[in-house]
A and B are shown apart, each in its own frame.
Chain A
Amino acid sequence: MSWKDKTHELNARRTAALAQGGEEAVAKQHAKGRLTIRERIDTLIDADSFDEVGRAAGDAEFDENGNLIEFTPANFVLGFAKIDGRRVVVGGEDFTMRGGSPTTAGFRKSVYAETVALKHRLPLVRMHEGAGGSVGVQKNPTPPAPVFDPPRFRTVAQTLGSVPVASAAMGAVAGLPAARLVSSHFSVMSEETAQILIAGPAVVARAMGEKLTKEELGGAKVHARNGTVDNAAKNEVAALEQIKTFLSYMPSNVWELPPVTQPDDPVDRQEDMLLDIVPHDRRRAFDMRRVIAAVFDIGSFFEMGKGYGRSQIMGLARMNGQPVGVWGNDGRHLAGAMTAEGAHKARRFMELCETFHLPIICLIDEPGFMIGSQSEKQATIRHGAAAVLTAAMTNVPWASVMVRRSFGVAQAAHYGPDAYVIAWPSAETGPLPVEGGVWVAYRREIESAADPDAKRRELEDMLAVKQSPFPRAEAFAIHELIDPRETRPMLCRWIDRVQPLLPQLLGPSGFALRP
């Protein structure tokens, strides 16, 4: 006897699975300006590369003769795919069914996304839309998981130390999917369609009396500025583009090196503007992103976390084709001082680089930790010390370029062990910037002078000389003092020198990224 009947039924189920929540639900999703999970996957991956896992998972209903009437697929779509020719695992909730709130098999598939990415050592991309558990009654409720099951979030945590995880918030994301979203090496939200919520407006209104819309509670204006997600993107397609860009700098896992691309930017390119970019007037800020653009491979800088901790600039770039972590200070924001948020951002950035063995290049203009009552209230010293100690425990190669200021305890976060330290002539360094230090140390002398202002300036100028990089170069306290235009050639040579060190770092790091 042939199995034709059964394969016929199987095909009917597969067709039903592709229909997702049905025509009406899909039309509703489109009417809200959102893609379905299958469309998201198609947008993200190389054409025809989707190799789905668990197509038969779902709930079946039969008539009295045992014939299939209806098949409702599990509402999490999962599979292998390729992005730019490299294999990944992709998955996401299907919002067209139960608003993405997991069915039994849907939940299992979502957990399997992490499990299978770990097993195959492949990057994981999650596209989230949906809430966590619902108090509603399921069709076929299963008993609660056994008490000896591993913790639900164990695989989520394990992926962060093993494979790149990139997640996108595409619609409203709450509860469990929201926790997964932020448990990523890179997360992005669609400004037009996404909100991230611990609990939605109805629950909030009832419990707290706050009457806010989804957008007011958890839109991009809130979460792209507080570090909940790294980046915002205009819409879903732009968010997926950012994920592809992020992955292009990443190895497939911690046992492999990041992909070095064929560089098309000369290693000896020297930009004249670097000679003038740091103003002589120490109070005058400059645009560090222009330095980044001039030094790293042209167009290769991908910034992450621009919306929060804004005095610190973090991102990925390439130096002669080698993916690196880039960290600069933005003197245009709070004078570049390290805030609690900036320190948190810095810690995560270093953990990312350490996990995936990316060399770190720092362009330093760090005046120190942010001071004042607001900063004290934010426990800046604790977050700051965490960043400093993270730097001290990294194993990846560091190159630290003293562009301008490098002061206080906060500066220590910008130099890893055995950092290659080069300084521009504009570098100033010491326990604290002269402007603050002079007043505290010489207050009596200044106040008793005939012209206190002139005395203060005289002392500042005298002490500024001591903060100059020349004595440091003489004492071999830095490796080189350089013409700013030499920055790229020197860093390209350094990248070449550290190549043999990178394979020795492979494997899980002593610490991985934590949300």
Chain B
Amino acid sequence: MATEVELETAGTVWKLLVKDGAAVKEGDMLFIMEVMKMEVPYEAPHDGTVKDLNIAEGDVLEEGDVAMEIG
């Protein structure tokens, strides 16, 4: 199962916590967005591997952008 991690809201990537190819467990924090001075963490939806990493720290992203895939 591969799941796209999609941005729920526009904002800036504050911290990126995983690398392409990294193994993650469900609930692991993948990255933290800064939105309206709040930190919005994104977690792995299930166990898997980080694929197609599209973001870097400081990137300004739009709602609906795909940050990565968990495959």
Residues of A within 8 A of B (CB): 281, 283-285, 310, 331-335, 337, 435
Contacts and interface: CB of A to CB of B under 8 A. Distances in A.
A283 to B, nearest CB: 5
Interface of A, helix, strand, loop or mixed by DSSP: loop
Given A332-B8, A333-B8, A284 B35 contact: no
A332 B35 CA distance: 8
A332 B34 CA distance: 10
Contacts of B38: 283-285, 331-332, 335
B17 interface: no
Contacts of A337: 36
A331 B41 CA distance: 11
Contacts of A283: 37-39
B35 A335 contact: yes
A284 B37 contact: no
A264 B57 CA distance: 46
Given A332-B9, A333-B8, A285 B37 contact: no
A199 to B, nearest CB: 28
14 contacts: A281-B39, A283-B38, A284-B39, A285-B38, A285-B39, A331-B38, A332-B9, A332-B35, A332-B38, A332-B40, A333-B8, A333-B35, A335-B37, A435-B37
Nearest to B43: A287
Interface residues of B, number: 9
Interface string B37-58: 1111100000000000000000
A284 B39 CA distance: 4
B7 to A, nearest CB: 10
A435 B37 CA distance: 10
Contacts, number: 32
Interface in B1-45: 8-9, 35-41
A284 B36 contact: no
A202 B25 CA distance: 52
B54 to A, nearest CB: 20
A312 to B, nearest CB: 14
Given A283-B39, A285-B40, 4 more contacts: A285-B38, A331-B40, A332-B8, A332-B35
Contacts of A435: 37
B37 A334 contact: no
B37 A333 contact: no
A153 B37 CA distance: 46
Nearest to A372: B36
B38 to A, nearest CB: 4
B43 to A, nearest CB: 8
Contact of B9 (A281, A284, A333): A333
A285 B40 CA distance: 5
Contacts of B41: 284-285
A285 B9 CA distance: 13
A285 B35 CA distance: 9
B46 to A, nearest CB: 15
B8 to A, nearest CB: 6
A464 to B, nearest CB: 16
A355 to B, nearest CB: 31
